[in-house]
Structure formats: structure tokens, C-alpha cells
A and B are shown apart, each in its own frame.
Chain A
Amino acid sequence: MGSKRYSGSGGKREAQKRVKARESGRRWKVYAPILTSLVVIGLVLALIHRGPSVGVAVGDVAPNSQFTLLNGTTTQLYNFKGHYLLLYFITTWCDGCAEGLNQLSSYYPMLQARGVQVLVLESYNDLGYPGMELGKFVKQFGNSNFTAGYASYDMTLKYNSKAYPDVYYLISPDGKVIYEGQDLSTGLGNLLTIMQKI
């Protein structure tokens, strides 16, 4: 392209300067978007993980809501009062939810010893995307002692207003939220620490 123009040492130096400047500009054209994307994604993730609430806040009374069990029976959350309850909202297309259930089931003896019941609810309409059938999902990744069902739209709106793939609440026997979070597979350590204190 330009080599035939580079005649004489002055012209060559000038051409080299031009090439150097162009090279530097183009280098940043590639690096800048990559670095910017990395920084932006990192900041957003950091902000999300610092987010204080996923729906109902810790300390609040868990609002009563209706939902449907796997066998088709409609029931309500207040029927679970009197026990510690781990309320876990999932979506069945989500790998993280499968991992969360899987981890939770490995701690089932500990949950049982502490009197914690586990209620796994599929968020309303699987948040708009059909995943695996809930019964099959819980059977494959969870534990047969977990109660499973489908959350209504109102319940999903109350407890999972940001439509995260998985959110969870630990509710005391008197119905107050003790702990809440999203992404159980990564937050299980903190949840277990809280459970060991009850």
C-alpha cells in the first residue's frame, strides 16, 4: 500500500512515524472496547451482589400467598407456619437452580435436624420460558422430601419482583423473614451459617 512512497531516509522516518501513530490508534480500537466491557460487567455484577433485597426484606413478615402443589392442590404459605421454612423460588431451565437444589439436598440431614422444611416453588410460568417439568426437575436434582409447587403470579411478584432465576428466603416459625438471597448455589455457605444458629 504505502511502501513505494517511502523513498529517502526523511520520507522513511515520516512514514514510520505515521505507521506508529496509526498502529497505536488501532491498538486502542481493539483494546479499549474489551477493557471497557470487562470493567462495566464487573461493576454491574458487583452492584448486583451488593443489592440489599430481592423482594421481601429481612425482618418483614412473609406475606401470605397462594400456590399450587405438584398434585394440583392449592394451598397457602401460612399453612407452613410453626416451622422454619426455606422458601426457594426456581426456574427449571436454569442450571444454577439445578445446582442449588443439588447442594441443598446434600445438606438435607442437617436441615431436617434443625426442623427446616424446604418448599421449592417454580416462579410464575417459569418466568416466560418452558423448562423441564417441575416434578422431574426436583426428583433429578433435589430430594423427595422437598415440597414442590408452582407460584402464582402475585406470589412471584411479591417474592421475586426482579424476576431472578432463583431466590430464596429463610422464614422463622412466626412467619418473619430471617434471611434472603439470590443464587443459592453460590450463597449456600452464608445460609448454612444462619441455619446453624437456629
Chain B
Amino acid sequence: MSSYIYMALRYTLGKARYALSFAFISIAVCSLYCYLLSSSSFGLLILGKHYLLYMIPATAALSTLVGLSAVVEVASFGRNASGFSLGAAVLGLLPGLCCSPLLPTVLTSLGGSYFAIRYSGEIQGTLALYGFLLLALAFVMSALSLVRGSKRLAECDECRVARVRESGK
């Protein structure tokens, strides 16, 4: 397994456009995660005052994995797998929404103040409680997406044609 992932990464990141896409997606996703997680201080209640020491590396690792899985999926003509990297990116966002004003604003506009005051805590509190589980799921999904994309890249005929075309043979 590790060999075809290595080959897939070598092939994908060897192409300038994929490498640029990877850099762009990873930096954009990482910036958004860092903004959301640090503005909501996610992890403080569980990890204590030094939560950023754990959260920043975890965020950077997840963003890198999401970026890699997205470009490998693209390079491998991923169809079913394409939802996985997007799903992972969205799952990674959820813990940061636990203390942000985003959900209360949406709930207030949907059901008014009464609805928001009664129920916004249920959603946000649950996100806060299960935030680490969501982050772990995001890691698993993007890793799965990377594995599937790499496997597809190693096995599919269309990819082989694309690789031959791109390498100019």
C-alpha cells in the first residue's frame, strides 16, 4: 500500500499544476481551520492552557492531508472518492464552529431568537463535546481518500493514458 501511495504522491507532486493546487488548497484550508479553531479557542476546556501547542500541528497535518487527497483524487480521475476529501474538509471545519457566531446567526434567521436561545447550545455544545472525534474522522476520511485515489492512480487504464500523455511518451 505504502508503495503505491508513494508513487502517487511522487507523480502528483511532480507536476507543477498539481503541486500548485496542493499548495493552494492546503494553505487555504489551513488558514480557515486556524482562524476558526483559534478564534473559538477549541481544545481549551479539554487540553488546558497549552491547547494551541496541539491544535496548530493537528490543523496543519489535516490541511496537508486534505490537500494531498484532493489532488491525488483529481489526478486519478476519482469519482466516488471525490466526496471524501470534501467531506473531510467539512468535518474538519465543524469543531471550529462550536463557539463561533456562525450557527447562532443561521438559527436566528431560520427560527428566531426563541428558537436560537433554546437550541443553539445543543448544536454548538455537541460540536464542542465531539470536536476531537470529528477531527479524527476528518483525518480518517482524508487518509481513506488518499489511499483510494493512489490505488486508482496505480491501477486505472485512463490514468495510465493520462500519465503517458503528460510524460510526453
Contacts and interface: CB of A to CB of B under 8 A. Distances in A.
Pairing of A with B? yes
Interface of A: 1-3, 6, 15-16, 19-20, 22-23, 26-27, 29-31, 33-35, 37-38, 41-42, 44-45, 48, 51, 91, 93-99, 102, 123-132, 153, 156-157, 160-166, 182-183, 185-186
A102 B45 CA distance: 12
A53 B5 CA distance: 51
Nearest to B105: A48
B141 interface: no
Contact of B156 (A1, A45, A48, A164): A1
B104 A157 contact: no
Given A23-B77, A161-B113, A93 B44 contact: no
B165 interface: yes
Interface residues of B, number: 57
Interface of B: 21, 25, 28-29, 32, 35, 39-45, 49, 51, 70, 73-74, 77-79, 82, 85-86, 89-90, 93, 98-102, 104-105, 107-108, 113-114, 116-122, 124-126, 128-129, 156-158, 160-162, 165
B74 A26 contact: yes
Contact of A98 (B41, B121, B157, B162): B41
Contacts of B82: 26, 29-30
A128 B113 contact: no
B39 A98 contact: no
Contacts of A26: 74, 77-79, 82
7 contacts: A16-B161, A26-B74, A30-B82, A38-B28, A163-B121, A165-B99, A185-B39
B78 A127 contact: no
Contact of A126 (B108, B113, B125): B125
A162 B104 contact: yes
A128 B125 contact: yes
A170 B39 CA distance: 21
A31 B21 contact: yes
